């Protein structure tokens, strides 16, 4: 058995049986070895950022790591932005970066570069396998590190380690150990004090059990609660306790936190402004407010459950009622589009949200839709939506995936549509086609740079020259597509996409928020 075969066997034995790949010459033995391990599914992408984003989306839904296969330093570079998002999402992932054979590295061949330095910026665990005898143990350690900390493990794999015989798969990956129980006493005391308190939930507390526990706590104690701005996986809709998110804009978050004397962090980080602005504080904790850390990102649901049993033993969590907006008619705008989505969202859908400015009304329009998962842009690196939808659909073939995507963000990783077609994934992509980097037109004002923006500045935020035709782009990659300019057309297109297997794209032409 060569190193590549031992690696793949160790991966599938460790529960990692999907590999999103964009291989090159140094990974050819890995590719050849796929045929020797039937349990491993290889999913080809045309760009590495699609592979890493897909592994993120997969982990959020499957609750276990996928593997990613990348080619040398440039392949890792292309995958880096979505690895950044995955790092912030705290999802498990095993990244395999092929490298030159060990004896070849000293020659500084054209593709030689410092893989370790780049991998270190996004990976909690990095190892370079130095000999074929080590590959099984290294792969096992990569999986264990990834699963125990819900983080990225990167294994740098020289080509000769792959092609050399004499490897053995590892015996098996130990199950992640349960976290240490947290001391809920101090927070319970704070909540019983009657002083104005806010619980900010995040991490694994944004799913059913964590939400139910937090809802019981706030109902019993009178505290308020919010969810972090960019949850990894947010369960919501009819039958699920409803929570608002901390506002993206610092002004909004400050208003939400106004008057709070105790801020309890349950899996969320202490709130800070997404960007800095001249003269505006970055730290959003109100003056005089005490911050209490209940728990880290993982174990937040368990900590909240313990807290609920302590302060709200008899309280039953309220849940959102079933309720959908009326189907609107007439001109399609980001406002009316939100209502169409709310009216038609299927039961058990997975929503991948990279709609940015165009999506501001989506949460309220879908609050009473059938229960669904909502995945968000955890790290702020745009280009995550289309790839994450690939991974979510691979993880949950029995669910509909709705990817709500901005036109500007879509173009970073547009080739993910091709992988959706190749794998016949049930993904419906909606492009909010407003022809502008609208968020930047807003930010240009907010940072104080553009009270009177000049024509060159505005031109750099305008992507309508030339207009993109997303129907043609999608069809060119094998995804059926249509354009919608009215609510009726949008509703028809959404219904048709949800009814028919395989991927679809809807080019939803909406006006810019800024006119």
Length of the chain counted residue by residue = 515
Q: Is 55 in the site for a second copy (CB under 8 A)?
A: no
Least Å distance, CB 414 to a second copy, is: 7
Residue ranges in 348-387 that form contacts with a second copy under rule CB under 8 A: 378-381, 383
Q: 163, 374, 432, 490: which one contacts a second copy (CB under 8 A)?
A: 163
Least Å distance, CB 465 to a second copy, is: 6
Tokens linked to 301: 């649901």
Q: 190: exposed, middle or buried (C-beta count within 10 Å: 0-12, 13-18, 19+)? A: buried
Give the C-alpha separation, 355 to 247, whole Å.
Answer: 15
Per-residue burial over 366-380, b if 16 or more Cβ lie within 10 Å, else e, is bbbbbbbbbbbbbbe
Q: 16, 51, 159, 226: which one contacts a second copy (CB under 8 A)?
A: 159
Q: 16, 59, 66, 78: which one contacts a second copy (CB under 8 A)?
A: 78
- Can you tell me whether residue 181 is helix, strand or coil? coil
Least Å distance, CB 218 to a second copy, is: 25
Give the C-alpha separation, 113 to 129, whole Å.
Answer: 17
Q: Is 331 in the site for a second copy (CB under 8 A)?
A: no
Q: 54, 62, 64, 84: which one contacts a second copy (CB under 8 A)?
A: 84
**H or E stretch at 470:** helix 470-476
Q: Is 480 in the site for a second copy (CB under 8 A)?
A: no
Q: Is 408 in the site for a second copy (CB under 8 A)?
A: yes
**Closest CA relative to residue 56, chosen from 120, 145, 150:** 150
Q: 473, 493, 494, 509: which one contacts a second copy (CB under 8 A)?
A: 473
Distances (CA, A) of 207 to 151, 298, 408: 19, 12, 30
Single out the segment in contact with a second copy by CB under 8 A; choices: 59-67, 95-103, 326-334, 396-404.
95-103
Least Å distance, CB 90 to a second copy, is: 12
Least Å distance, CB 283 to a second copy, is: 7
Q: Is 29 in the site for a second copy (CB under 8 A)?
A: yes
Q: Is 500 in the site for a second copy (CB under 8 A)?
A: no
> Cβ closer to a second copy: 84 or 207?
84
Least Å distance, CB 175 to a second copy, is: 29
Q: Is 453 in the site for a second copy (CB under 8 A)?
A: yes
Least Å distance, CB 316 to a second copy, is: 35
Give the C-alpha separation, 371 to 319, whole Å.
Answer: 11
Residue ranges in 282-301 that form contacts with a second copy under rule CB under 8 A: 282-283
Per-residue burial over 241-265, b if 16 or more Cβ lie within 10 Å, else e, is bbbebbbbbbeebbebbeebebbbb
Least Å distance, CB 210 to a second copy, is: 20
Count of residues engaged in binding a second copy, rule: CB under 8 A: 101
For the range 107-115, what are the long-range contacts, defined as Cβ-Cβ under 8 Å and sequence gap of 24 or more? 111/72, 111/73, 111/74, 112/73, 113/72, 113/73, 113/74, 114/73, 115/72, 115/73, 115/76, 115/156
């Amino acid at each position: 058995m060569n190193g590549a075969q031992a690696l793949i066997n160790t991966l599938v034995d460790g529960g990692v049986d999907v590999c999103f790949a964009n291989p090159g010459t140094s990974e050819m033995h890995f590719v050849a070895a796929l045929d020797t391990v039937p349990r491993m599914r290889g999913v080809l992408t045309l760009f590495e950022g699609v592979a890493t984003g897909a592994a993120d989306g997969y982990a959020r839904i499957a609750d276990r790591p996928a593997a990613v296969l990348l080619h040398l330093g440039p392949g890792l570079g292309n995958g880096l932005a979505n690895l950044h998002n995955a790092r912030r999402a705290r999802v498990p992932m095993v990244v395999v970066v092929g490298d030159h054979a060990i004896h070849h590295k000293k020659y500084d061949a054209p593709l030689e570069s410092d893989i370790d330095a780049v991998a270190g910026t996004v990976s909690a665990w990095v190892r370079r396998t130095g000999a074929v005898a080590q590959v099984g143990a290294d792969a096992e350690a990569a999986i264990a590190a990834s699963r125990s900390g819900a983080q990225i493990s990167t294994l740098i794999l020289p080509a000769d380690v792959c092609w050399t015989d004499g490897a053995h798969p590892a015996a098996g990956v130990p199950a992640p150990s349960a976290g240490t129980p947290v001391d809920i006493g101090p927070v319970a005391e704070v909540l019983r004090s009657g002083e104005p308190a806010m619980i900010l939930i995040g991490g694994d507390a944004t799913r059913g059990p964590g939400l139910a526990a937090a809802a019981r706590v706030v109902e019993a104690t009178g505290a308020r609660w919010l969810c972090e701005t960019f949850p990894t996986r947010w369960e919501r809709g009819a039958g699920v306790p409803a929570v608002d998110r901390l506002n993206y804009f610092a002004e909004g978050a400050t208003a939400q936190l106004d008057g709070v004397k105790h801020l309890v962090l349950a899996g969320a980080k202490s709130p800070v402004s997404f960007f800095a602005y001249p003269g505006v504080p970055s730290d959003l904790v109100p003056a005089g407010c005490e911050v209490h850390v209940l728990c880290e990102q993982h174990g937040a649901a368990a900590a909240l459950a313990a807290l609920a049993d302590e302060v709200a033993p008899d309280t039953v969590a309220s849940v959102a009622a079933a309720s959908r907006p009326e189907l609107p008619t007439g001109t399609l705008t980001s406002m009316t589009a939100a209502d169409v989505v709310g009216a038609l969202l299927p039961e058990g859908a997975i929503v991948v949200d990279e709609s940015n400015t165009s999506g501001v009304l989506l949460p309220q329009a879908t609050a009473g839709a059938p229960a669904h998962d909502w995945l968000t842009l955890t790290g702020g690196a745009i280009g995550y939506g289309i790839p994450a939808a690939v991974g979510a659909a691979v993880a949950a073939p029995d669910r509909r995936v709705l990817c709500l995507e901005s036109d500007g963000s879509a173009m970073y990783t547009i080739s993910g549509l091709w992988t959706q077609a190749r794998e016949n994934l049930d993904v419906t992509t909606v492009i909010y086609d407003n022809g502008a980097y609208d968020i930047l037109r807003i930010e240009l004002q907010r940072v104080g740079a553009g009270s009177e923006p000049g024509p060159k500045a505005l031109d750099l935020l305008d992507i309508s020259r030339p207009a993109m035709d997303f129907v043609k782009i999608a069809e060119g990659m094998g995804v059926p597509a249509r354009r919608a300019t009215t609510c009726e057309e949008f509703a028809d297109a959404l219904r048709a996409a949800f009814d028919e297997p395989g991927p679809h794209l809807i080019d939803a032409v909406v006006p810019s928020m800024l006119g």
